């Protein structure tokens, strides 16, 4: 009888342990919570992660929501390890230079900035005071900078960037594999493999203008010119710089490489590195505030 009793106790303990572990490894997403859940969260935590992505062309093989899925899924992975709440506010970013391919949506920078700032104002009202923006679209950088500056300079809250393009995340090795190429395809093979159509993946024909070609070539000798030729890319066709997506690439992919070389393992490595850096920052910030 005693043996049977202790067996039941053991089963219950294991079950509770498993349940606790599962709860600790579950991402907290604002839209999936009740107001009671948020109230309980705010009793012990005032941090929030806001993912920023886009709805824009990503070549013939990746979904239009690639940047959003990357920002959201990586933010959730950070949440799983830290318990920080994730609050998605937008599916769309500033992507006008990709609009030569159908399906791309874009907001004006000032529109996007205002939506994000008003979102922050609402969250501040409830007690959130530490904002971590995880951006995964280069076109959003200017908006992110403005919103962070506005929060830091007009409210009592603190805002920082922790995503791609931030000081926290390395900018890569300088190779031309910027958009929907090997790296991004690999990340999507890891995060959302069911949305990747690898049978459509193909190396693009890249058409730099003579001006970009010259500056790019000279930058190999004079590194100071690197930001100059890059500033001519990812701009609307109306600027007549030849840097809009459909002017630059035959299929929307910005890469000197064949995305068929992408692998889930490469993607997992990249994601893990980004998550690890963000987790370390969050833990250090919590420690500093205690």
pTM of the model: 0.90
- Residue 178 main-chain phi, psi, to 5 deg: -90, -30
How far is the C-alpha of 90 from the C-alpha of 113, rounded, in Å?
Answer: 11
pLDDT tens digits along 16-58: 433 333 345 899 999 999 999 999 999 999 999 999 999 999 9
pLDDT tens digits along 98-126: 999 999 999 999 999 999 999 999 999 99
Helix (H) or strand (E) holding 29: strand 28-29
Is the Cβ–Cβ distance between 89 and 29 less than 8 Å?
Answer: no
pLDDT-based confidence at 175, cuts 50/70/90? confident
Q: Which residue has the tokens 């997992």?
A: 268
Q: How many CB atoms lie within 10 A of CB 258?
A: 15
266 versus 15: the higher-pLDDT residue is 266
pLDDT at residue 173, as a whole number: 62
- The residues that bridge with 52 in the sheet, in sequence order, are 135
Asked if residue 159 has pLDDT above 60, the reply is yes
pLDDT-based confidence at 290, cuts 50/70/90? confident
pLDDT at residue 289, as a whole number: 85
Residue 56 gets which letter from DSSP?
-
* Mean pLDDT of all residues in 261-278: 98
Strand-strand pairing, 254-255 and 177-179: antiparallel
How far is the C-alpha of 178 from the C-alpha of 260, rounded, in Å?
Answer: 15
Which burial class, exposed, middle or buried, applies to 287 when counting CB atoms under 10 A from its CB (0-12, 13-18, 19+)?
Answer: exposed
- Domains of the chain (ranges; CATH) run 47-202+263-290 (3.40.50.10310), 207-248 (no CATH)
Asked if residue 135 has pLDDT above 70, the reply is yes
DSSP 112-174: HHHHHHHHHHHHHHHT--EEEEEE--GGGHHHHHHHHHHHHHHSS-EEEE-STTSSSS---SS
CA dihedral 239, 242, 243, 247 (to 10 degrees): 120
Residues in the chain: 290
Is the Cβ–Cβ distance between 186 and 264 less than 8 Å?
Answer: yes
pLDDT at residue 65, as a whole number: 98
CA dihedral 245, 249, 252, 257 (to 10 degrees): -130
How far is the C-alpha of 19 from the C-alpha of 71, rounded, in Å?
Answer: 28
Give the mean pLDDT of the chain: 92
pLDDT tens digits along 210-257: 999 999 999 999 999 999 999 999 999 999 999 999 999 999 999 999
Is the Cβ–Cβ distance between 134 and 162 less than 8 Å?
Answer: yes
Q: Is 49 helix (H, G, I), strand (E, B) or coil?
A: strand
- Percent share of the chain, pLDDT over 70: 90
pLDDT at residue 24, as a whole number: 56
């Amino acid at each position: 009888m005693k043996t049977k009793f202790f067996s039941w106790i053991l089963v219950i303990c294991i079950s509770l342990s498993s349940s606790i572990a599962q709860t600790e490894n579950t991402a907290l997403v604002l839209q999936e919570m009740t107001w009671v859940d948020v109230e309980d969260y705010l009793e012990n935590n005032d941090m929030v992660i806001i993912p920023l992505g886009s709805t824009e062309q990503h070549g013939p093989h990746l979904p239009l929501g690639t940047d959003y899925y990357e920002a959201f899924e990586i933010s959730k992975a950070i949440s799983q390890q830290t318990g920080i709440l994730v609050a998605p506010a937008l599916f769309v970013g500033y992507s006008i230079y990709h609009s030569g391919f159908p399906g791309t949506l874009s907001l004006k920078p000032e529109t996007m900035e205002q939506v994000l700032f008003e979102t922050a104002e609402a969250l501040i009202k409830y007690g959130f005071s530490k904002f971590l923006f995880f951006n995964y679209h280069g076109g959003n950088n200017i908006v992110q900078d403005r919103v962070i500056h506005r929060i830091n300079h007009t409210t009592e809250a603190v805002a920082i960037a922790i995503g791609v393009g931030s000081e926290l995340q390395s900018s890569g090795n300088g190779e031309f594999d910027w958009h929907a190429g090997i790296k991004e395809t690999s990340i999507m093979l890891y995060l959302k493999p069911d949305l990747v159509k690898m049978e459509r993946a193909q190396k693009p024909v890249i058409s730099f203008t003579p001006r970009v070609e010259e500056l790019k070539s000279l930058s190999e000798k004079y590194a100071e010119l690197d930001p100059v030729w890059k500033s001519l890319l990812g701009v609307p066709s109306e600027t007549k710089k030849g840097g809009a997506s459909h002017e630059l690439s035959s299929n929307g992919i910005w890469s000197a490489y064949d995305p068929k070389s992408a692998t889930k393992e490469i993607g997992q490595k990249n994601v893990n590195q980004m998550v690890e850096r963000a987790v370390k920052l969050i833990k250090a910030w919590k420690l500093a505030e205690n």
